[in-house]
Structure formats: structure tokens, C-alpha cells
Amino acid sequence: MTTKNERIETGWNFDNSYSGLPKLFFSELNPTPVRSPKLIMFNESLAASLGLDAKALQGPDGVAVFAGNEIPEGALPLAQAYAGHQFGYFNMLGDGRALLLGEHISPFDERVDIQLKGSGRTPYSRRGDGRAGLGPMLREYIISEAMHGLGIATTRSLAVVTTGESVYREIEQPGAILTRVAASHIRVGTFQYAARWGTVEDLRALADYTLQRHFPEVAERSKVDDAENRYLSLLKAVMKRQAELIAKWQLVGFIHGVMNTDNMALSGETIDYGPCAFMDTYDPATVFSSIDADGRYAYGNQPHIAAWNLARLAEALLPLLHDEEEQAVKLAEDAISHFVELYYENWFAGMRAKLGIFNEEPEDESLIEDLLSMMKKVGADYTNTFRALTVDKPEETALFGTEEFVQWYELWQARRGRQQESAADAQQLMRSSNPALIPRNHRVEEALEAAVQQGDYSVMERLLDVLSNPYAHTPEQANYATPPVPSARPYRTFCGT
């Protein structure tokens, strides 16, 4: 398992730069072995993009790694320490049921974390068992791959194994381990942890590492420009990526469900798919998470929560921004004040694209807001409304037939007629901006029930296949675009921890 020839065969090429940080940021330990691991999901296309041997990894040696029963050569397993505001309350956290095996370096020189989720207890488990249930791990696999298909920055899922053991949440369920691939697992909460329990030099080491790993252009620029505040530039660079990310969430109706500061990655990837879901009927107040009783993380609140989380990052960085606290606070506040503007620039650009509009006019904002207002008023399906407009079938929307929509439609057609691009160009822009389908909640539940209750993974595999190219607008996708039947019982998602 650990010979050089074996490593070359499977393709693993581990490095462990994170372990070079001060020791307070992690604890080294191995996964807890499991009884009888079985590979049930494997992402062959992702494996190929990472330069891994898919066939070898699906064999006994590969499964042993995915289960945590074997440590591949070059890996240095560790649990990361971090803190976070959970629903507004600050806590000491850390990887309570996950271990970072190390950083795989692909043949294209891409560095990615390889993490096992559900691999056993760690020093940060508190009262948890360190394990994960099959349903939540399959949910993460489905949604993260759907997000990748939608073109949204995300962690990805390489494999899911069952452990042959049970875990107990509300009910007994099969245990599972997910192998997650991420640009890194550095979070806003990692910086909060350093600011609270580390020294200024610990905080600086983390900031320098993050700059070099995710924003090397900022790190290089600051070396040649003594006037540049590298840590202020780090904050601004993180803000820019988050503005782009959250705008993309909103544009497809994605609701993260638990936007705690420990679930905001500085890389700009979507991370931690717990009680996440996609919105059917358009309503900014939509909440699916069973633990979000007050709607803190509702769909319409996500941009505001992102700004709040970034303010917590800015607070953690204060000692690095300026020697004088008052000046540091001013620099941080000035930077954070631009987030809303950055977000809306991205969101409005995305909404114009969803309506086939290439340029910008002052009336665009009201055109967009009026459409959303009508959608909310009549309970229109968010994805299918834009899908119907894309294929020029307005009669398929819940808005059709109202005088308000007739007037709006005329204004929209006139707006598109004022741009240089042709109607065909506009439709192509809409096709590439409006997915024909999303991972509908009832379809996800259908796949999870078949897999967990019946051991039938074919439903999930078919769903993953259609979600891999959501902008195809093919007849085969039509059945998966159907909204759920109306129900008096609201759809609820659960964290799975």
C-alpha cells in the first residue's frame, strides 16, 4: 500500500504545507478504522482531472484510503482547529468528524485538500461521535456536483464509502465517509480562532499562508510595492470572491442553510453542505433548515449574512491592518462598506444575463425588481419562470395572462430591442445563464430514499447525470424540471450532525 510504485499507480501526490503553520492550528492524528468499508459512489471525472487512477482507486487499496483504514504515502492526517459564529454566537469549534489527509498536487500543479468527512473522533469532537450518516454524505455528493455543473465555485466529492457500522441521530442509519476535495479548508472561523487564542505572529503566519495559497498575485505585488497593505489587500480579495459567489447562489436560488462564519471559505468556494436546498417558489423569506427557526439564513438574507461574516474576518485581521487600533478599524470599515456594492454589481450583471441583456441601462433595476415582485405575488417557480422566458414560451409561466405581466413583457422586449446584439444572441445568453433544471428537493429526497432505504443507487446516478449539464435544455431534462406537487407540509432539511 505504501510503496512508491503503489503511489504512482494510484496517482496520489501528497504535500502537507498546512502542517507548516504553528501547531495551535491543528492536531495530528489518524482516522479511526472502520469494520467493513464498501465503495458506493466514485467520481471518475473528478479523479481524472486530478491525475488519479480511477481504476486503482476503486480497488481494495483505494477503498481502504477512502475509509481511513490506510494512510497513503506522503499524507499527514490532521484535524484543523477553528472557531466560528454559529447563528450569531461565538464558539470554539474545529474538525469534529473530519481529517485532512493532506494536499494532493495534480499533474497540472493544482493543489487541493483531500479530506475525509466522518472519519472518527478528534480533539474537537466535543460530545460528538465523529461519524457521519449515509444520507447527509450522499446529499453533499449530489449538491456539490450540481453546483459544479452550474458553474459555481464549490468543494467537490470524490467518493463515498459505507463503513459497515451504524450511526445514531434521530434514528439509526448506515455510517458513511465522504472524501471531499477543496481548494482549502481555511475559513473565516480559522482567522477568528487565531485572533482569539493565538498570538499576532500566529495570525500573521495564517494570513501569509492564505495569501500565498489563494491570492499569490497579491502576495507578489506586495513584495514589490512597499506601500501596499498586504493584509488589507487580502481582506479585499476575499470580499471580491465572496461577492461573486453569493451572487451566483442567489441567481440560481440556492440556499446554504447554515452560513456560520466557520462555513465561509476564504478560497471563495461553497463549503459544508448541511441543510442546503434549492428554492422552488420564489420568495426571499424561504428557509428549509430545521434549525433556522428565526430565518437568519433565509434566501433573501444571504448577501447580508455574507457581509456580516466578512466583518468578523475584518475584526480578526485588525492587528495586522495597522499598529494603531483606531486606524485599523477605519481601514476595515472602509473596506467592508464596499461589499454590498460589489455584490449588487455581480447580481445585477447576472440578472441582466438571465434576461438576455448585454449592456446596462438605468431602468434595468426596476425591470428586474418588477419581475421578481410579480413572481412572489403569484407564487411563480423561480427556475421555471426564467426557463420559460429563455425558450420564448411565456405562456408556461404562472405570470401569463395578467395585465401586469403583459406590460412587463412589452417593456422587456423593447429593452432587448435597444441593444446591438440580435435576438438569437440574447437567447443564447439566456440559455447559458438560466439552468433548465436544478437539484429539485423532491428529486434529491427520492434519490436519497432509494439509496439509503433500498440500496438502489441508480436513481441518484440518473439524477447526477442530468445535473452534470444543467444548461443543456434537452428533452431528457424536462421531467427533472417539474416542481413538486403542492403540500401543506413545508419541506425541511436537517444538518446531519
Predicted local confidence at residue 488, as pLDDT: 57
Predicted local confidence at residue 1, as pLDDT: 43
Residues 174 and 195 in one domain: no
- In-domain check, residue 66: yes
Task: Out of 168, 185, 202, pick the residue that ends a domain.
Answer: 185
CA distance linking residue 141 with residue 37, whole number of Å: 18
Partners of 100 in the β-ladder: 78, 115
Q: 274 CB contacts (<8 Å, ≥6 apart)?
A: 136, 257, 258, 289, 493, 494, 495, 496, 497
Residues 203 and 75 in one domain: no
Q: Is the dihedral of CA 198, 199, 205, 211 positive or negative?
A: positive
CA distance linking residue 287 with residue 35, whole number of Å: 38
- In-domain check, residue 400: no
The number of residues in the chain equals 497
Domain span at residue 256 reads 189-346
- In-domain check, residue 381: no
Residues 194 and 122 in one domain: no
Task: Out of 325, 346, 367, pick the residue that ends a domain.
Answer: 346
Residues 152 and 247 in one domain: no
Residues 104 and 233 in one domain: no
The amino acid at 73: E
Catalytic residues: 262
- In-domain check, residue 441: no
- In-domain check, residue 444: no
Residues 108 and 195 in one domain: no
Residues 144 and 195 in one domain: no
CA distance linking residue 68 with residue 98, whole number of Å: 10
Predicted local confidence at residue 497, as pLDDT: 60
Predicted local confidence at residue 222, as pLDDT: 75
Give the relative orientation of helices 216-224 and 200-214 as an angle to the nearest 10 degrees: 110
- In-domain check, residue 277: yes
CA distance linking residue 43 with residue 468, whole number of Å: 12
Q: Is the dihedral of CA 449, 455, 458, 462 positive or negative?
A: positive
Residues 151 and 237 in one domain: no
Predicted local confidence at residue 2, as pLDDT: 44
Task: Out of 346, 376, 402, pick the residue that ends a domain.
Answer: 346
Residues 179 and 254 in one domain: no
The amino acid at 3: T
- In-domain check, residue 299: yes
Q: How many domains does the chain have?
A: 2
Residues 180 and 200 in one domain: no
Q: What is the pLDDT along the chain (497 residues), one digit of tens a residue?
A: 444 444 447 899 999 999 999 999 999 999 999 999 999 999 999 999 999 999 999 999 999 999 999 999 999 999 999 999 999 999 999 999 999 999 999 999 999 999 999 999 999 999 899 999 999 999 999 999 999 999 999 999 999 999 999 999 878 999 999 999 999 999 999 999 999 999 999 999 999 999 999 999 998 887 767 778 999 999 999 999 999 999 999 999 999 999 999 999 999 999 999 899 999 999 999 999 988 989 999 999 999 999 999 999 999 999 999 999 999 999 999 999 999 999 999 999 999 999 999 999 999 999 999 999 999 999 999 999 999 999 999 999 999 999 999 999 999 999 999 999 999 999 999 999 999 999 999 999 999 999 999 999 999 999 999 999 999 999 889 899 999 887 756 788 887 66
184 burial type by CB count under 10 A (0-12 exposed, 13-18 middle, 19+ buried): buried
Residues 61 and 205 in one domain: no
- In-domain check, residue 495: no
The amino acid at 19: S
Predicted local confidence at residue 25, as pLDDT: 98
Evaluate whether 97 touches 32 at the Cβ level (below 8 Å): no
How far is residue 248 CA from its own chain's centroid?
Answer: 11
253: left (phi > 0), else alpha (psi -120 to 50), else beta?
A: left
| Residue position matching grid coordinates 439566456 | 430
DSSP annotation of 59: S
Predicted local confidence at residue 221, as pLDDT: 86
Residues 65 and 128 in one domain: yes
